[in-house]
Chains A and B, each alone.
Chain A
Amino acid sequence: MSYSIFNQTVNDTLTEPMFFGDSVNVARFDQQKFEMFEKLTEKQLSFFWRPEEIDVSKDKIDFAKLRTNEKHIFVSNLQYQILLDSVQGRSPNIAFLPIVSLPELENWIETWSFSETIHSRSYTHIIRAIMNEPSIVFDEIMKTDEIIQRATSVSEHYDELIKYSQAYLLHGEGKYEFNNEKLDVNLYGLKRLLYLTIMSVNILEAVRFYVSFACSFAFAERKVMEGNAKIIKLIARDEALHLTGTQHMINLMRDGKDDPDMKKIAKDCESEVIQMFKDAAKQEKEWAEYLFRDGSMIGLNAEILKQYLEYITNVRMEALNMKPIFKQNTNPLPWMNHWLDSDIVQVAPQETEITSYLVSAIDNTMSPEDEDFSDFKL
């Protein structure tokens, strides 16, 4: 039962589970099991943007005037985001596409991953603008221990899922030995790995990213590096959409609305998931220490960033109907919300592109009342 790119089994996608059912054959969107993923795709497409649209020329002057410790905060923060988006730009495609069973979800995963590649391109755009030697920043990423540690923690679940699902797609269930490593491949175990991987992606996009966003917006609150903040604002808008996608998948699984096995897995993994949130929070706190090791900046220091981290971790856990793990229940960085609210800036249509505007979109739905023209007179 090796994987086929066009599965020729006739199937009904309305009855397939999200993952590990029949692989998708016809990419059809006339009917959907979970309409939410179609809506997410449409929204993401309407959000399309290019980094070159944003002028970052003033940021070069601002960057030159930053103190050394602030430069360290700014550059390290960007390097971390480069890492996160390098992972996210390819991993949903590689890990989830071979095992997905719904066309609308397949389409969402591809659209989601593609938008991450725009984020990666935008980091190069920013760094080219502010540095004389952009390559130094990129070369440093793989040489910085603190960043490499993060890379391990964000990719380990993906790697496990990819290893086991590749074995499954090639050989099916069974016990195998590859490179002196014994793999016990079974569908239930794979579903468990999938659940944990989606959870780790949610933590990556909903918690880890927001710590980085806080640093970028803290600069812009002081009216420096504003071009960068404009780009990060667009990235944050995309990430808010992505985290909704993973939250939606997790909630469908937990509520048993998708695959009955997943409901049981979600229950069994409860304590492991709480530990994942705790571990991520611990790692991000260590990262905050590293960022501010040479001193803090106006408006932000390691302590406040850690409080924000605890706060945002609680918010994300509540969105998954889980009990918060930290005491911090108020937002220590209230100005963050100005940057994260989507429609905080009202613009005239001719001034800029309205992101929610869909070209040639019409509403075809008719209700019985709409069809009654009896009182219509010319």
Chain B
Amino acid sequence: MFRIDVDNINGKTESLYVFGEESILTELEAHNVLINYSCRQGHCGSCILKLVDGEVLHQECLVPLAEGEILACQSKPTTDIKIATKD
């Protein structure tokens, strides 16, 4: 299992424990940490998060991402990670 440390996303700072089989977006929703999303397929860029620490497996996407940014809908954790909002 991996730990996802949520750093003040939508007012929530907590740790989630996940198997790494679902996207970070799905896991956050399952744990009631609500973030913006729209297409769920890596096109629109609504669900960009900042990966503060750890590593993820990232599917291809159409959105230009800056260093340290990930799309929650297109990535799954491969280590313990810490995520925060983009700004």
A329 to B10, CA, bound (A): 12
- B62 partner residues in chain A, CB cutoff 8 A: 36, 39-40, 43, 244
Binds A, one of B11-19, B36-44, B77-85: B36-44
State the Cβ distance, A7 to closest chain B Cβ, in Å. Answer: 29
Q: Report yes or no: B43 in contact with A356, Cβ–Cβ below 8 A.
A: no
Q: Report yes or no: B29 in contact with A337, Cβ–Cβ below 8 A.
A: yes
Q: Report yes or no: B43 in contact with A241, Cβ–Cβ below 8 A.
A: yes
Binds B, one of A54-62, A272-280, A311-319: A311-319
- B23 partner residues in chain A, CB cutoff 8 A: 341, 343
State the Cβ distance, B24 to closest chain A Cβ, in Å. Answer: 12
Q: Report yes or no: B36 in contact with A341, Cβ–Cβ below 8 A.
A: no
- B44 partner residues in chain A, CB cutoff 8 A: 240, 243-244, 247-248, 319
Interface residues as binary, A206-228 with B (CB distance below 8 Å gives 1, 0 otherwise): 10000000000000000000000
A337 to B74, CA, bound (A): 13
Q: Report yes or no: A330 in contact with B34, Cβ–Cβ below 8 A.
A: yes
State the Cβ distance, A231 to closest chain B Cβ, in Å. Answer: 17
B60: Cβ under 8 A from any A Cβ: yes
Q: Report yes or no: A237 in contact with B41, Cβ–Cβ below 8 A.
A: yes
A206 to B40, CA, bound (A): 12
B70: Cβ under 8 A from any A Cβ: no
Q: Report yes or no: A243 in contact with B34, Cβ–Cβ below 8 A.
A: no
Main secondary structure of the interface of B (DSSP, over half): loop
Main secondary structure of the interface of A (DSSP, over half): helix
For B, the interface residue count at a CB cutoff of 8 angstroms equals 20
Interface residues as binary, B55-72 with A (CB distance below 8 Å gives 1, 0 otherwise): 000011010000000000
Q: Which residue of A lies closest to B46 (CB)?
A: A319
Q: Which residue of B lies closest to A35 (CB)?
A: B64
- B34 partner residues in chain A, CB cutoff 8 A: 329-330
State the Cβ distance, B87 to closest chain A Cβ, in Å. Answer: 13
Q: Report yes or no: A342 in contact with B40, Cβ–Cβ below 8 A.
A: yes
A241 to B62, CA, bound (A): 10
Q: A331-B29, A341-B26, A356-B60 are in contact. Are A240 and B43 (CB under 8 A)?
A: yes
- A356 partner residues in chain B, CB cutoff 8 A: 59-60
A340 to B37, CA, bound (A): 12
- B73 partner residues in chain A, CB cutoff 8 A: 341
A238 to B29, CA, bound (A): 23
- A315 partner residues in chain B, CB cutoff 8 A: 36-38
Q: Report yes or no: B46 in contact with A341, Cβ–Cβ below 8 A.
A: no
- A241 partner residues in chain B, CB cutoff 8 A: 39, 41, 43
Q: Report yes or no: A342 in contact with B37, Cβ–Cβ below 8 A.
A: no
A349: Cβ under 8 A from any B Cβ: no
For A334, give its contact among B29, B42, B43 (CB under 8 Å). B29
- A330 partner residues in chain B, CB cutoff 8 A: 32, 34
Q: Report yes or no: B59 in contact with A343, Cβ–Cβ below 8 A.
A: yes
- A237 partner residues in chain B, CB cutoff 8 A: 41
Q: Report yes or no: B43 in contact with A318, Cβ–Cβ below 8 A.
A: no
Q: Which residue of B lies closest to A358 (CB)?
A: B60
In A334-378, which residues have CB < 8 Å from any B CB?
334, 337, 340-343, 356
Q: Which residue of B lies closest to A245 (CB)?
A: B43
Q: Report yes or no: B38 in contact with A247, Cβ–Cβ below 8 A.
A: yes
- B26 partner residues in chain A, CB cutoff 8 A: 337, 341
22 A-B residue pairs with CB within 8 Å: A39-B62, A40-B43, A43-B43, A237-B41, A240-B43, A241-B39, A241-B41, A241-B43, A244-B44, A247-B38, A315-B36, A318-B38, A329-B34, A334-B29, A337-B29, A337-B40, A340-B41, A341-B26, A341-B40, A341-B73, A342-B40, A343-B74
Extra contacts, 19 of them, besides A241-B43, A342-B42 (Cβ < 8 A), are A240-B43, A243-B38, A244-B39, A244-B44, A244-B62, A247-B38, A315-B36, A315-B38, A316-B38, A318-B36, A318-B38, A319-B38, A334-B29, A337-B29, A340-B40, A340-B41, A341-B23, A341-B41, A341-B73
Chain B positions within 8 Å of A, measured between CB atoms, are: 23, 26, 29, 32, 34, 36-44, 46, 59-60, 62, 73-74
Chain A positions within 8 Å of B, measured between CB atoms, are: 36, 39-40, 43, 206, 237, 240-241, 243-244, 247-248, 315-316, 318-319, 329-331, 334, 337, 340-343, 356
**10 interchain residue pairs of minimum CB distance:** A244-B43, A319-B38, A240-B39, A342-B41, A244-B44, A39-B62, A240-B41, A319-B46, A340-B40, A244-B39
